[in-house]
Every structure is written in structure tokens, then in C-alpha cells.
Amino acid sequence: MQIKTESQLRELYGFPKGRAKEKVLSSLEKHAIRFIETSPFLVMSTCDNEGKLDASPRGGTSGFVKVTSNTEIVIPDAKGNNIVDSIGNIIETGMVGLLFVIPGLDETLRINGQAIVSTDAKHLELFTSEKNLPKACIVITIQEVFLHCAKAFMRSKLWEEGSKIDRNSFPTMGKMLKDQLGSDEAPESREDMVERYKKDL
């Protein structure tokens, strides 16, 4: 049976109780701020006016996302492939969802809010210590912030040494793209790709 209504969904799952129901905050406090300032990685979710979705990984050294107030954070738009799906979506809808991850920690931090793309000096100057300065920043006004439980990371055993695969057992990015695109060009080696990427870090 396909579930089509909210009442069917609640009949199956019930309603949140206790901390799960009460944990959503509208601004940052000390634990959320520490989480952001420690995290070197996040996933950013956006959509355009037609509902086309995008989820984009973002990374840097711990603290690469700047907390400017208890209701605002700023993310540098680091150099990428110029497809600009995420920031294009933000320009259209002004909405964003974030999932912050800390290596070794099974809990995550989620933030939902309104976003703009900014080239204001006051935002860019937050990242003057970066090797490659961003052309723009994503400024997020927080509407919801909450800690997400550890179950997904515990199930996946993501941080356990035994969960890691031998990288050489998996095709290179160059090989996968060659196959996907049906290209006749020789695939880029992993070593060449890493060296090319290092210039943009």
C-alpha cells in the first residue's frame, strides 16, 4: 500500500514524544556553536522554484563556517566546478538545509533557514586566512537548529576502521566518468586528479 496522507503516516509511525518533539530551537546556543566551529564538513540541501533538488558537500578546516550571531552563519562558496547548482537554487528560493558532521562523532547537527548569496566585503573578509578566497559567501539566517541522533551513523559504522574499503578496489573518478559519458579519452589517473584538485583547495 502506498501511503498518501498525513493520517496514514501517523497511524503507522505515531507522533514524536519528549526530547524528540522539543529539541528544535530557533537560534544557536553554546553546544550548537561548538558543533559548527568543530565541524570540517557539511551537506547543503537546496531546491529551485520548480522543486528540483540538490545536495552538495562542503568542507574545510574546522571552523570554516563562521558563526556571526546566534541566528546567522556564513559559509564560503569555495572554488568548484562552476555548475553553481546550490547557489543558483538559493537565489531562486532563498531556502537551505544543512547537515553538519564531525569525524568520529555519531551525532549530527541540522540547520534549516533562509539564505542569500553575498559578495559584501564584511562577509568575504571573514575568510582572508583561506588559501583561495571565495568569490561569494552563503549567508544563512537560522530558523531551525537541532541535534540529530546517532542511529544512522551507528548503523553504518561509518567511523569504524573496518568499514573503510581499499580505495584501489574501486574505480577512479576518471574511469567512472569515462564509462558514464562514453568518452574515448584516456581516463585521468587518481594521482593526476588529486594534484589538480590541490590547486583549488
pLDDT tens-digit profile of 175-191? 999 899 999 889 888 89
* Cell 559519458 sits on residue: 181
Tell me, yes or no, whether 1 lies in a domain: no
Q: Are residues 126 and 180 in the same domain?
A: no
Q: Are residues 47 and 88 in the same domain?
A: yes
A 10 A CB-CB count for 180 gives 8
Instruction: Reply yes or no on whether the pLDDT at 20 is more than 80.
Output: no
pLDDT at 199: 82
pLDDT tens by residue, 24-46: 999 999 999 999 999 999 999 99
Residue 83 pLDDT level (bands cut at 50, 70, 90) = confident
Q: Under a CB-based contact definition with an 8 Å cutoff, are residues 65 and 28 in contact?
A: no
Q: Are residues 90 and 169 in the same domain?
A: no
Nearest to 28 by CA among 93, 91, 98: 98
**By percentage, how much of the chain surpasses pLDDT 90?**
77
Q: Are residues 186 and 129 in the same domain?
A: no
Q: Are residues 191 and 142 in the same domain?
A: no
Cα 191 from chain centre = 26
Residue 121 pLDDT level (bands cut at 50, 70, 90) = very high
Domain extent at residue 33: 22-156
